Structures are given as C-alpha cells and as structure tokens.
Amino acid sequence: MAELDGVQAEPAIEGRGLSRSYGGVHALNDASMSAVAGEVHALVGENGAGKSTLIKILGGRTRADTGTVSVGGREVKFAGPDAAHRLGVWTVFQELTLLPWMSVAENLMIGREPRSRLGLIDRRGMERRAEDTLAALGAEHIDPLALVEDIPLSQRQTVEIVRAISYEPDILFLDEPTSSLVEREVVWLFGQIRRLRDRGTALVFTSHRWNEIRDIADRITVFRSGRNVGTFKELPEDDAVTLMTGRRLEALYPQRPPPPPAVPALALKSYNARGVRDVSLELRKGEILGLGGLAGHGHRELFFSLFGAEKMIAGTVEVGGKAVRIRNPREAMRHGIALVPEDRKTEGLLLAMSVRDNATLAVLRRLARFSILRHVRERQLAQGLIDRLRVRTPGLSNPVGALSGGNQQKVLLGRWLLAEPNIFLLYDVTRGVDVATKHEIYELIMRLAKEGRAIMLYSSDAEELAHLSHRVLVMREGRIAAELSGAELDAEIIVSAAVRDRIAT
Amino acid sequence: MASSAEPVMPGPETPVPTGQDAPLLLRLLGSPTRRRILYALLASIVLFAIGQAVRPGFASPSGIRAVLTIASFVGLVAAGQTFVILIGGIDLSVPWVLNGASILMVTSSLGSNARAIPALLLTLGMGTLVGMLNGAGIVLLGVPAVVMTLAMNGIMEGLTLGFSGGMTCAACGSYAPPVVQAAVHDSLFGIPTALLLWLVVIVLVSVVLSMTTFGRRTYAIGNSPRASFLAGVDVTTCTIGLYALSGLFSALAGIVLVGYGGQAALGMGDPYLFQSIAAVVIGGASILGGRGNYIGSAAGAISLVTLVSVLMAMNMPEYGRSIIYGVIILVLLLLYGREDAER
C-alpha cells in the first residue's frame, strides 16, 4: 500500500472538512478529498460510506452542512448543478436524470437546442447535432430519435454519460457509471475516460468492481462511515476490503451445499411468455439454479411471468409436481413463490414508508385478526428480521429510503423470508451492493438452499453465478442455449456461452 | 426523503440517533403531516378569536357548535376524498353524487318515515355503486382519475336532472322524512347528532387507515402501485374499494344535508368539491398520495369552515369571500409545497 503523503499538483477541485447529515444521520462526517487535472480518481467504500453524498456536494446538487469546496483554488458555494456546470464541473449521478418521454436528441441538447430564425427550436438541426455528438463520442449505435423510455437501461446510462462529456468538462464526476452498462459499453466508457484524462480533465468515479478500479484509476481514495480513510496510488483488493469494512473478510463466496436429490420444486415445459421461447427446465428442492446470459435475453420476462406479474403465453408450469396456473403475484405467493425484482427502488420497496411497513407487506394477512393488524406481533416480527439480517437502521419506524443500498436490499429480501416461500426467484439481488453485504446475501442464499428451498438466481455477474450455482442455464434470445454444471461452472465459460453465435455452435 | 437518495447509514461506531431520543416537542412536530394538523387547529382557534372580536358570540358554545356542524358536512365528503387522495387519486364526482343522493333520498322516501330506512339504504347503495364504477374505470380501463370522475359527475348530473324532471317536485314530497330531519337536528348530551356522526366517522376512518390491512395497503399503493402489486397487494380490489368509500361518503353527506336543510335542491353539492379537496390538503395529505391521515382532513375541514364563517360574520360580500378564500388556499399550498421541497 503506497499511501500518498501530499498532492503535488494544485487540485482542480477540493472539498475540505465536509459534513452532511440527513435527519440526524451523518452521511458525511468531516470528509476531505481532492482531484487534480489529468487524473482518474476512484472513490471506493461500502454502500453508505458517503461517496454519493460527497459527489452530490462537489457536483452542486446538495450543500454540505459544514466544510468548504474549492475549484481551481478558489472557494465556491454552488447554488445548484447549473452553477457547477458554469465552472466546468459535470456529474453523472447514480439515478438517471433523463426525461423518459422525450427523445435521446432532445435530452442530449436540452438547454442548448439550435434555434431557427424565428427563435423556435430547429428540430432537424437538433437531431443532426445530437447524431453528430453521439458519433463523435463513439456512441453511434444509439438512435437519437428513439424515446428514452424505449431504450434499454444500459443505453440510457450511455446517453447520460454522453451528455456530460459532450460539454468537455474540466472536472467530471461519475457515480457508479458502470453498474448498469454492458461489457462493450464499459470498454467504451473507459476509452472516453482515458481520452478526457489525457486532455487534462480531472475525473472522479465510484465503482464496486475492483477490476475496473485496477484498470483505470490513477489514485484511489477509500471511504468508510462518512470519512476518507486514505488515498493510495496502488491498493490490493484485500487491503481495500479491510479498509472499507474495518475488518478482514473471509472468502467472498461461502461453500455451497452439496447438490440436492432430484426432487422437483418447479418444472417448466415448453414455457413461452413475451421474450421467453420454449423454455423447459426443472428446479429442484434445495437447488441453486443460476441463469446466465446477457441482459435483455428473457430472464426478466421469465421471472416476472412465473410470478404472475406478466402474462404467460403457452406451456405448463408445475409447482411441487402439480400443474398450476398463476395469473397474478398473489396466486404465485399462494403457491410458495417469491420474486425479488431487479430495481428495489421502484419495484421492490416503498421508499417513504417505514422499515417495518416494508418488511411485513407480504405477510399482512397473517398478521391480522379480522383485518385489524396486531401491532405488537408485527413489531416483533420486523424486529426479529432486522436483528437476524443485521440491517443497520436507526429504528423500525425510519423510512426505508434513508437506509444504504445494501441495507435496503436486506429489508427487501427479508420481506420475502417472512413469507416463507419454497421457491425464490432472485433477480440480480447483489447489483449495486457493497462487498460485505454481498457476502451476507450469499450466505443467506446458501442457508435457504440447505433448508431445502429452491432458488433460481439471475445475475449480471458471471463470477457470482459460477460460485453460487449448482447448475447454470444460459439464456440467449429467450431460449435456453446451454446448461453448465460441474467443471463448466466458470465465469468465462458462462460468458462465452452467452455471446456465442447460434450458427457457430 | 426524495432528495436524499444517497444511502445515509452511520458506521458501526457512530451512535445512531433514535426517534425516542429526540425532544418531545420535536417528536410531536416531527412529521409534516402532524405539523400541519397542528397548524390547521391553531388557525381555527385564531379565526374563532377574530370572529369573536368582530361579532361577539361567534365563539360562544352555540356559535362553535354551529360552525362544527357545518364543518361536519365538509368532513364527511373529505373522508372519501382522503381515501382516494391517499392513493394519488381524486374524486371529482362529489358534487352530483352528493346532489343525486339527496334527491334520491327525498324522492324515494316521499317524505314518509315508513320509507326512511329503505330510502337510506338505497341512497347509500347508489353512492357506493357509483364509486365502484369510478374505481373500476380507473383501475380496469386505465382511465385517469380526473377524467373518470369528472365524466361520472356529468353523468350523475344528467341522471339526476333527468329523473327529477329538472326540479324536485313539491307535490311528490321533496322533503326528507321527518325522522331523518329530526335525527340530524337532535342532540345527545348537548352535541348535535350530525357532529356525533362525524366523530364516529373520524374514529372509524382513522382506525381503518392506521390499524387495518386495508389501510396499510392503501398507503402502500399510494407510495408505489407497482411495488405494491409485486408484493402481492390486490391493487385492483383495493382501488375499487377506495372509490366506493368515496361514493358512500358523498351519499352520506347528501343524506345528512337534506336532513339538515329539510329539502333537496339542485346545485347543493357544488361547494363540496373544492372544500373537500382543500380540507384534505390543508390537513397535510400529499396530493400525490402515500402520505396523510383523516384527522388532518378533519382539522382542515374545521379551519376551512371557520374561515368562511368569520368572513360571513364580517359581512364580507360573496365575491370578496370567494377571493379571500381562494387566496388563502393558494398561499397555504404554496407554503406547504416549499416545505416539501426543502426536505
């Protein structure tokens, strides 16, 4: 660990002694950080360590309670992101800020639309400019005329990034830019980052993926509990994890239980849904069945239609050996199926409602007598869950949206644990979750499997699939393209099975 | 919390502040909803004081009783409005459901006591049914709530005018059954029945919202229909039920009003649309759903009606009342909006 003593060059942007609390909880506590021109600076830390808050403050989106921000050596007080933009400070925030019902071109050119002689927006010109911008930055695969709501998440994130770098910023913050990008776009982004660095931009980004950090960061600053705990030129992953969590972590992936006997929990025969073609599979009791493949190849539709949230078109579904028809999530729950969806913020949790309300939502009926909720019982149940999963929350009545991502995910998983289903459909449950929480989630999955519950797991992380699953089914264009088990449970094999051309096989 | 999507958890060594540690006053005023209930009640007290200064006797027990009784009519309608606003909906069919109910009450009972009970049930049933249709249109056909309920208001206006022949005919007995009139005017332990009824409604609605599965699901849908659906909440049934409740309360208000005034009249429901929505919003509920409670709406109804009464006591002409009334609501909503933005 080569820790830097001082920064040689004058920082392009610097925050000193920054603190910010939300409702009495310190998100940032006397944190300092600076970036110099022509460097790529990675911020690492667990969810809730304060990285995003720091970026929001330096990017002008929120203000610090105390502390100073200076740009180019001069102290500034940003009234909003606009003020930051005027000083060349741009940010790609974690939550997307595009307007979904407007086109890519309109979003890219917002606030700088070319005008016609009459002062009206010159649509044709705007679209041409947007197309030029996309092409100049190597993102020509995105259709400038498409509505943002019609393009996949990864492309939206790309548009978001294109918009920021098209202003040729002096200082650019990227808050987890890669979490929703696909491989190819990550390569593209890193090319752009290098280009900007070489022309003197100061770049700051956050990521939970260590190989990315190793690839591209010139310096690494580690955050823990709202404070920077060190800045390094080089930092091995193990040391980083120790610094981030304050303790050493055993192996990330726990030992998986031996493969279970072939007692089917769920069987699909010639199953069809929108985007899912002719899928036949068997999920056994106590089995962890991984689903691999590129995003957008039918996993989501398979999960949602199995859970009754989307229509199934044809085929048969057997739960515990009996043919069933599932028309809505309530019926799925009655058959012992649980779904933890992709986007916990819009599809999983009720962010403004309390931890307790969120935890017990799926078991309300069981908690009620003559539809009156038994409050003491509900509290006990929620509290027991919070203790068991070690959810860090000030209390049961705090809004779940105030928790860190990892703790939010635990509450969501906990909701379904309370429902005691036999079949878990887990859709990318570790996305955007820090390494310590990931480990806890893995252990939880193993425990569930040992209890004899069946788990179907989709993950965008092939490494994760390879380590957790007994078997992996790789999906391509809505079909099952490969079944991998034993020695084939390897991240590289999974990825190559996902992208292999169908004719070539 | 919307502005703080940043995860904000303290580290293990940071002491975690809990709700219990906060000073009592802060805890009482903790949530904006609770703060607004307090504002509304304080405003009513101030308004009563002003009324008393303008016209001695305004804040006498009988004066207060009169204001509260009138507030109870708004409050009943606001109960239904609270239910639908909590899921981010709105019920614009209030005026003619209420009016239709009052006319159905008098025409079906023909002013006779013997028919009072069947007429009562028929009228409440009509309100509930209309509400269910509202809910079904919104949740099954995907019609926006504003459009659906506004259209329903028009339909109810047409039906009411058509069936009553343009006016309630005096010959066929356009009076509420005497027993209903007596019931509304009666009082128990010095409290008018209309007020007692409202008290019962306040308790019932509050229990439903805060202590039942139905109430919890209502808040859940108001926060995110999608996430609620995926957690197994029956969004369809729940939505239809909520609009049915709104129709039921509009009809109930129509019955109480016709009992109070003795006679039904065309247009008697008109003031209740704006007032019911205003009461809910003054009471701290979010117009986008998910936040608020009925105690707030009740407090909102009281402060609103007190304001109108004070303006009348000041002999403010009708047009002046309208203007002041409108300006005050605007200012309130502006202030509340700001408070939300700062969070």
> CATH fold of A1-88+169-249, please?
Rossmann fold (3.40.50)
Distance from CA of B203 to the nearest CA of A (A): 14
Lowest-confidence segment of A224-228, A432-436, B84-88 by average pLDDT: A432-436
Supply the pLDDT for residue B1: 36
Write out the two tokens for B302: 């009281």
For the segment A404-426, what is each residue's pLDDT rounded down to a tens digit?
A: 888 999 999 999 999 999 999 99
**Chain B neighbors of A341, CB-CB under 8 A:** 230
Distance from CA of A185 to the nearest CA of B (A): 25
Report the residue of A43, A304, A347, A377 to disrupt the B interface, i.e. the one with the largest count of B CBs within 10 Å: A347
Supply the pLDDT for residue B173: 54
The residue among A93 and A280 whose pLDDT is bigger is A280
Cβ–Cβ below 8 Å for A415 and B231: yes
For the segment A308-345, what is each residue's pLDDT rounded down to a tens digit?
A: 999 999 999 999 999 999 999 999 999 999 999 988 88
Nearest beta carbon to residue B214 from set A94, A371, A408: A371
State the pairing for strand pair A66-71/A11-22: antiparallel
Cβ–Cβ below 8 Å for A22 and B230: no
Cβ–Cβ below 8 Å for B216 and A357: yes
- The mean pLDDT value of chain A amounts to 88
Three-state DSSP class for B327? helix
**Chain A neighbors of B232, CB-CB under 8 A:** 329-330, 332-333, 361-362
Looking at domain A264-499, its CATH architecture is 3-Layer(aba) Sandwich (3.40)
Supply the pLDDT for residue B167: 55
Q: How many CB atoms lie within 10 A of CB A476?
A: 20
Q: Per residue, what are the HEC states of A391-457?
A: CCCCCCCCEHHHCCHHHHHHHHHHHHHHCCCCEEEEECCCCCCCHHHHHHHHHHHHHHHHCCCEEEE
Cβ–Cβ below 8 Å for B290 and A407: no
Portion 15-34 of B in contact with A at CB < 8 A: 16-19, 22
Concatenating the DSSP letter of every residue in A156-218 gives: HHHHHHHHHHTT--SEEEESSTTTT--HHHHHHHHHHHHHHHHTT-EEEEE-S-HHHHHHH-S
Q: How many domains does chain B have?
A: 1
For the segment A143-197, what is each residue's pLDDT rounded down to a tens digit?
A: 999 998 888 888 899 999 999 999 999 999 999 888 778 888 889 999 999 999 9
Nearest beta carbon to residue B213 from set A333, A347, A368: A368
Ramachandran area for residue A371 (φ above 0: left; ψ -120 to 50: alpha; else beta): left
**Mean of the pLDDT values across residues A428-435?**
84
Cβ–Cβ below 8 Å for B11 and A415: no
As to burial, measured by CB atoms within 10 angstroms (0-12 exposed, 13-18 middle, 19+ buried), residue A186 is middle
Identity of residue B251: A
Distance from CA of A24 to the nearest CA of B (A): 6
Q: Is residue B333 part of a domain?
A: no
pTM for the structure as a whole: 0.78
Q: How many CB atoms lie within 10 A of CB A198?
A: 9
Distance from CA of A208 to the nearest CA of B (A): 15
Residues 6+ apart with CB under 8 A from A36: A7, A8, A9, A10, A11, A12, A202
Q: CA B182, B187, B193, B199: dihedral to nearest 10 degrees? A: 180
Reading chain B (343 residues) residue by residue, the pLDDT tens digits are 333 333 333 333 333 333 344 445 555 555 667 777 888 888 889 989 998 988 888 888 888 988 999 999 999 999 999 999 999 999 999 999 999 999 898 888 877 787 888 889 999 999 999 999 999 999 999 999 999 999 999 999 999 888 776 555 554 556 778 878 877 787 777 788 889 999 999 999 999 999 999 999 999 999 999 999 999 999 999 999 999 999 999 999 999 999 888 788 888 899 899 899 989 988 888 888 888 999 999 999 999 899 888 888 888 888 888 888 788 778 877 777 666 544 4
Three-state DSSP class for A292? strand
Write out the two tokens for A297: 């190849």
- Residue B305 and residue B130 in contact, taking contact as beta carbons nearer than 8 Å: no
Binned at pLDDT 50, 70 and 90, residue A484 comes out as very high
Q: CA B164, B170, B174, B179: dihedral to nearest 10 degrees? A: -160
Three-state DSSP class for B188? strand
Cβ–Cβ below 8 Å for A398 and B6: no
Residue of B nearest to A354 (CA): B220
Give the residue among B163, B190, B192, B335 at the shortest CA–CA distance from B259. B192
Report the residue of A57, A61, A310, A371 to disrupt the B interface, i.e. the one with the largest count of B CBs within 10 Å: A371
| φ, ψ at B88 (rounded to 5°) | 75, 15
Residue of B nearest to A432 (CA): B7
| Domain ranges, residue B164 | 54-314
Taking one residue from A and the other from B, the number of pairs with CB-CB distance under 8 angstroms is: 152
| Cα dihedral across residues A157, A160, A161, A166: positive or negative | positive
Cβ–Cβ below 8 Å for B18 and A225: no
Q: Is residue B339 part of a domain?
A: no
- Residue A49 and residue A72 in contact, taking contact as beta carbons nearer than 8 Å: no
d(CA A337, CA A66) in angstroms, rounded, equals 48
Q: How many CB atoms lie within 10 A of CB A313?
A: 12
**Mean of the pLDDT values across residues A22-27?**
72
Supply the pLDDT for residue A234: 85
Domain with CATH 3.40.50.300 in chain A: 1-88+169-249, 264-499
Question: Residue A74 has what DSSP assignment?
Answer: E
d(CA B21, CA A395) in angstroms, rounded, equals 12
Residue of B nearest to A393 (CA): B9
Cβ–Cβ below 8 Å for A373 and B16: no
State the pairing for strand pair A454-458/A423-427: parallel
Residue of A nearest to B213 (CA): A371
CATH number at residue B106: 1.10.3470
Identity of residue A266: L
Q: Is residue B340 part of a domain?
A: no
Distance from CA of A80 to the nearest CA of B (A): 13
d(CA B203, CA A235) in angstroms, rounded, equals 62
Supply the pLDDT for residue A3: 46
Q: Is residue B209 part of a domain?
A: yes
Nearest beta carbon to residue B11 from set A56, A225, A398: A225
Residue of B nearest to A333 (CA): B232
- Residue A75 and residue A17 in contact, taking contact as beta carbons nearer than 8 Å: no
> Which residues, in sequence order, are bridge partners of residue A219?
A41
d(CA B135, CA A167) in angstroms, rounded, equals 48
Q: What does chain A come to in residues?
A: 505
- Answer yes or no: is pLDDT of A7 > 70: no
Identity of residue A161: I
| Helix%, strand%, coil% for chain A, nearest 5 | 35, 25, 40
Q: Is B343 on the interface with A (CB under 8 A)?
A: no
Cβ–Cβ below 8 Å for B3 and A94: no
Q: Is residue B49 part of a domain?
A: no
Residue of B nearest to A413 (CA): B231
